[in-house]
Amino acid sequence: MKLLKLACLSSLACAVFTAHAAEPLTAEVELGVIATSGNTESTSLKGKLKITQELENWKNNYQLDTLYKKDEVTVEDDAGNDVTEEQTTAQKLFVSAQGDYKLNDEHAALFIYGSYTDDRFSGYDYQSVVAAGYTDQLFTTTNSFLKYDIGPGYTFNETDDGEKNESAIVRLAAEYQYKLSANAKFSQLLSTEAALESSENTRTKSETSVSANLMGNLSMKAAYTVIHNSEVPANKEKTDTMTSVTLVYIF
């Protein structure tokens, strides 16, 4: 089933990646590594790749987001003694693709979107979404803009216990950006995949960030991310948060 969902997302990406591949691409690579030793042993790795392709009739966006964390934890062995060992405490993979078909208006477009999430510690084996709808900008100034997406979709997921769920959703997404200075900007990303039935899961994600240029195409980014699932398996938290500091290179 995982391979089927990934195949669907790959097909979506191929559909919007047309024969005009000669058009320029913009790529943004984000990487953060934190390692501690001594009284506490911990290793964290966060990586993100964003690719934007501007074509005559299409604007395509692709994203790959990963998180891996290993901590030193205390567990009880077979003899009942406390022992310290390293365990993986976070392991996440997120991929998405969106194609915007440009309309006559400067910013308006029709979009098709697909995403796949594999989060080992969320209680879900996988979560995937397909959606389509309308996207536009509410306003644009010299220092800021606010963009939104809205449209119907469908979600597929499976819990670690093997329970499969499918439901109709409405996808809402917004991106706000404000230029703080010539070298710094504030960004707010917000998306929700709202289930039409109250018994089904609604997934909401928010990322608040500030980034500053260090030199050339290299920047530093500080971000706070919140992911909320309205329905989760037993013994799992509904809300996950993460604070990160990463280096970003644009080329």
CA 89, distance to chain mean position in Å, is 19
Instruction: Provide the CATH number for the domain formed by 2-250 in this structure.
Output: 2.40.160.40
> pTM for this one?
0.85
The pLDDT value recorded for residue 34 is 74
How much of the chain, in percent, has pLDDT values that exceed 70?
88
Q: Measured between alpha carbons, how far is 182 from 179 in angstroms, rounded to an integer?
A: 7
Q: Does pLDDT of 18 surpass 60?
A: no
pLDDT tens for 188-218 read 999 999 999 988 999 999 999 999 999 999 9
The pLDDT value recorded for residue 27 is 96
Which of 64, 54, 65 is CA-nearest to residue 17? 54
Q: What is the mean pLDDT of residues 38-47?
A: 79
Which of 138, 158, 149 is CA-nearest to residue 114? 149
Return the domain boundaries, the chain: 2-250
Phi-psi region of 106 (alpha: psi -120 to 50; beta: other; left: phi over 0): alpha
Strand partners, 94: 65, 117
Residue type, 193: E
Q: Measured between alpha carbons, how far is 184 from 198 in angstroms, rounded to an integer?
A: 41
pLDDT tens for 94-136 read 999 999 999 987 889 999 999 999 998 888 899 999 999 999 9
Identify the band that residue 38 occupies on the pLDDT scale cut at 50, 70 and 90: low
Q: For 187, list phi and psi in degrees, rounded to 5.
A: -135, 145
